[in-house]
Chains A and B, each alone.
Chain A
Amino acid sequence: MIRVIRFLQLGFVMDLLYSAFSFLYQSGDAFAFLVLSACGLAVIFGMMGVINLAHGEFILCGAYVSTSATQMGLPLPLSIAVGAGVAGLIGMPLERLIIRHLYSRPLDTIVATWGISMIVTQGTLIVLGSTMQGSGTPLGSFMVGNYSYSVYRIVLMGTALATLAALWLVFTRTRFGVLARATIQVPHIAQALGVNTGLIYSLTFGLGAALAGLAGGLYAPTMTLVPTMGSAFIVEAFVTVVIGGADIFLGTAPTAAILGVIKAALTSWHGQLAGQIGMLLSVIIVIRILPRGISGWILNERP
């Protein structure tokens, strides 16, 4: 009898652990998607103040380039890096040719980047056709309790955390990071001190574009590859950056964590629609209470 009760208790504890794991996995999955889609935008929009509606097209670029590289025989991690690199290399001249002239006119960047976005989407459709065959999700699946999970999604979570860590190192521990922050905060002083601000702007924009390309490369094996695929990321990216405010580490990361938990909980409770509604509702509430986003609030609260 006691043994049966012990057994039941054990079963109960195991069930609890399984549920906890599944909730953690789902929240982590939503977190990874939000962080990776938002990182590039956090640099370009959050830091530089360019409302970049072509963010989705950098993601598209990363996805298409990395998938083509995989199909040509490159191993997946390398082809994702190639995708991110190409997106970054395209971002830099784009900043020089178009975005640079609009830094003092932030609203005009909306029109310019929206135009770029339409040209890229339609151009991809005309040149490469309506769809591209995916490379398939690698690494298989594993079981916990009654549920089976994709291993690759764990890789995505790990990459999201690693990306945040790498960005933190770049912006706080490298010369480029310090120069970039100085250039964006007070450009004329930085220039007076001999910083090549033009180059720094290009590099920072390129970094943002490369991060978008990284998101595209990472998610390409799990998604439909079509010219409009960037639009699947852009709402989540903007939501995260707007709530997060200007700082990637104090803004984007905690926002993605909070929204990830809300989204996972509501989706498991009442489906995708509830998840979407919950996420957008929390956005409305947060920007109503904290107009400068979570990072603005944290920085203000600090003595």
Chain B
Amino acid sequence: MARHLISTLAVLGILLPFSGLATAQDKTPIKLGVLEDQSGDFAVATIGKVHGIQLAAEEINAAGGIDGRPLELVVYDTQSDNTRYQEFMRRVLQRDKVDAVFAGFSSASREAYRPIVNQFDGFAFYNNQYEGGVCDANMVITGAVPEQQFSTLIPYMMEKYGKKVYTIAADYNFGQISAEWVRNIVKENGGEMVGEEFIPLGVSQFSQTIQNIQTAKPDVLVTLLVGTAQASYYEQAGAANLKVPMASSVNVGQGYEHKRFKAPSLANMYATVNYIEEVDTPASKAFIEKWHKKFPSEPYINQEAENSYSAVHLYKQMVERAKSTKREDIRKVIAQGDVCFDAPEGKVCIDPKSQHMSHTIFLAHVKEDHSIDFPKVWQDVKPYWLGDAGCDLTKSDPSAQYTPSNPPVAAE
């Protein structure tokens, strides 16, 4: 009998550490892959995104982690190179086995890695403004989309300055589809496109483009320039004294051109942004103070940095409510339609149909001395286009990108 007792105790003695291990397993880190361009042509706009994720992760870990589990970042530099995205996306999903990936700046890079996320059934956050239309259950998109940025900006500009519009855009999927949006909105508002020019990435000399614009005499110039080479346009147009009012969904809010170029080359630029560091609210000020405490030499906090920061907090909430890091469990939480966060820009919520995010949209106006004022703010602009057009991720997952001229086929 006594021997029985002893062996039982011995078994318990062996088992007990294991039960201790079982609770320790709940403390295993949640792994977040971070693929952003920390070098190369896009680095100016994207280094801040990595910092935003690091800041949010530090806050979350200091407050006890996600459901008691620490958040661990697996960061790779994608070097502004699409093939690096594919390589590192495979690596974080297969080798590092991360629970979610935060990835991508250019739309070309997103479309390069998205098939890999689908193939390995991963869960990716794209924290960047873009041309819209991605209806994919493996993706959550926290950046602003055309119905948030153009449907606000273009009518405002046409009313204020006139109906003749000229677009210069980077020549890849982002620029082409964004230009299509601009074209449609100009037409809907009774305006006229007096010119359109698509510029290959990496082009840095704009003398002839500047003259083409002067020939067409537009009232409004929409600039959708991407990358640091193309940003040289502003300096050259300023030097040639081209003074057409400008509108943009990407410049100022991403590449902070108004800080990098000497005044007044960006004067009279209007950009719709969901956040920039000039936003003057208590929430924004507190955010900037926190940021500069961790990253004192940060040149600028742009909208994508704020999106990335907010996305980590949204992910924490999703995991805690789902009590799981499995994508399908998390999507059940998103489907409830109330995943919201008080971001520095204001309250943002994830739309269940498209898994895109609502935003406060600020109209940023660059003045003669390159300081910024906000003539208009649109509260709570929803990413409605995909849902209205027929994308409903709560019912089906086409994993496709749609455009106004190529909308989802209506469900049978």
Q: Which residues of A contact B (CB under 8 A)?
A: 22, 25-26, 29-30, 33, 121-122, 125, 129-131, 133-137, 140-141, 146-150, 152-153, 221-229, 231-232, 235, 264, 267-268, 271-273, 275-276
Contact between B299 and A153, CB atoms less than 8 A apart: no
Contacts A22-B211, A141-B239, A148-B242; A224 near B40 (Cβ below 8 A)? no
A264–B206 Cα distance when bound, in Å, is 11
Chain B: CB-nearest residue to A149: B240
Contact between A276 and B200, CB atoms less than 8 A apart: yes
- Which single member of B47, B207, B297 contacts A29 (CB below 8 Å)? B207
Contacts A29-B207, A146-B214; A130 near B202 (Cβ below 8 A)? no
Contact between B44 and A153, CB atoms less than 8 A apart: no
Contacts A30-B205, A129-B299; A272 near B47 (Cβ below 8 A)? no
Chain A: CB-nearest residue to B229: A232
Contacts A131-B228, A137-B235, A272-B209; A232 near B204 (Cβ below 8 A)? yes
Chain A: CB-nearest residue to B196: A271
Contact between A134 and B202, CB atoms less than 8 A apart: no
Within 8 A of A (CB), among B30-66: 39-41, 43-44, 47
List of B residues within 8 angstroms of A232 by Cβ: 202-204, 229, 232
Contact between B211 and A131, CB atoms less than 8 A apart: no
Contact between B214 and A33, CB atoms less than 8 A apart: no
Contact between B211 and A276, CB atoms less than 8 A apart: no
Interface centre among A26, A133, A223 (most CB of B within 10 A): A223
Interface centre among B204, B238, B242, B299 (most CB of A within 10 A): B204
Contact between B39 and A125, CB atoms less than 8 A apart: yes
Interface centre among B206, B236, B265 (most CB of A within 10 A): B236
Contacts A134-B260, A224-B229, A226-B44; A141 near B203 (Cβ below 8 A)? no
Contact between B211 and A147, CB atoms less than 8 A apart: yes
Closest 3 CB pairs of A and B: A136-B262, A141-B241, A137-B239
- Which single member of B43, B212, B260 contacts A268 (CB below 8 Å)? B212
Chain B: CB-nearest residue to A136: B262
Asked if B374 is at the interface (CB within 8 A of a chain A CB), the reply is no
CB distance from B378 to the nearest CB of A (A): 30
Contact between A273 and B198, CB atoms less than 8 A apart: yes
What are 17 residue pairs bridging A and B, where the CB atoms are less than 8 Å apart in the complex? Answer: A26-B207, A29-B205, A129-B299, A133-B259, A133-B260, A146-B215, A148-B242, A150-B239, A222-B235, A223-B204, A224-B204, A229-B228, A235-B202, A264-B208, A271-B197, A273-B198, A273-B199
Chain A: CB-nearest residue to B232: A223
Contacts A130-B299, A223-B204, A273-B199; A148 near B260 (Cβ below 8 A)? no
- Which single member of A30, A122, A229 contacts B229 (CB below 8 Å)? A229
CB distance from A56 to the nearest CB of B (A): 12
A-B contact count (CB 8 A): 133
- Which single member of A33, A125, A130, A140 contacts B205 (CB below 8 Å)? A33
List of A residues within 8 angstroms of B231 by Cβ: 224
List of B residues within 8 angstroms of A134 by Cβ: 235, 260-262
A26–B207 Cα distance when bound, in Å, is 7
List of A residues within 8 angstroms of B212 by Cβ: 267-268, 271
Contacts A30-B205, A231-B202, A267-B208; A148 near B241 (Cβ below 8 A)? yes
List of B residues within 8 angstroms of A141 by Cβ: 239-241
CB distance from A133 to the nearest CB of B (A): 6
A137–B40 Cα distance when bound, in Å, is 25
Chain B: CB-nearest residue to A223: B232
A122–B205 Cα distance when bound, in Å, is 24
Contact between A222 and B236, CB atoms less than 8 A apart: yes
List of A residues within 8 angstroms of B239 by Cβ: 137, 140-141, 150, 152-153, 222
Contact between A224 and B241, CB atoms less than 8 A apart: no
Known: A130-B47, A136-B235. 17 other contacts (CB 8 A): A30-B208, A125-B39, A136-B265, A146-B215, A148-B242, A150-B207, A150-B239, A224-B232, A226-B41, A226-B44, A227-B39, A229-B228, A232-B203, A232-B229, A268-B208, A271-B198, A272-B206
Contacts A224-B232, A267-B209, A275-B208; A135 near B241 (Cβ below 8 A)? no
List of A residues within 8 angstroms of B235 by Cβ: 134, 136-137, 221-224
A273–B197 Cα distance when bound, in Å, is 8
A226–B257 Cα distance when bound, in Å, is 12
List of A residues within 8 angstroms of B67 by Cβ: none
List of B residues within 8 angstroms of A125 by Cβ: 39, 43
A125–B198 Cα distance when bound, in Å, is 29
Contact between B211 and A26, CB atoms less than 8 A apart: yes
A152–B241 Cα distance when bound, in Å, is 12
Contact between A272 and B207, CB atoms less than 8 A apart: no
A66–B242 Cα distance when bound, in Å, is 26
A31–B236 Cα distance when bound, in Å, is 17
CB distance from B392 to the nearest CB of A (A): 37
Asked if B171 is at the interface (CB within 8 A of a chain A CB), the reply is yes
List of B residues within 8 angstroms of A22 by Cβ: 211
A224–B204 Cα distance when bound, in Å, is 9
A149–B229 Cα distance when bound, in Å, is 21
CB distance from A22 to the nearest CB of B (A): 6
Interface centre among A33, A129, A228, A264 (most CB of B within 10 A): A228
Chain A: CB-nearest residue to B297: A129
List of B residues within 8 angstroms of A136 by Cβ: 235, 261-262, 265
CB distance from A78 to the nearest CB of B (A): 19
List of B residues within 8 angstroms of A130 by Cβ: 43-44, 47, 299
List of B residues within 8 angstroms of A235 by Cβ: 202
A136–B207 Cα distance when bound, in Å, is 16
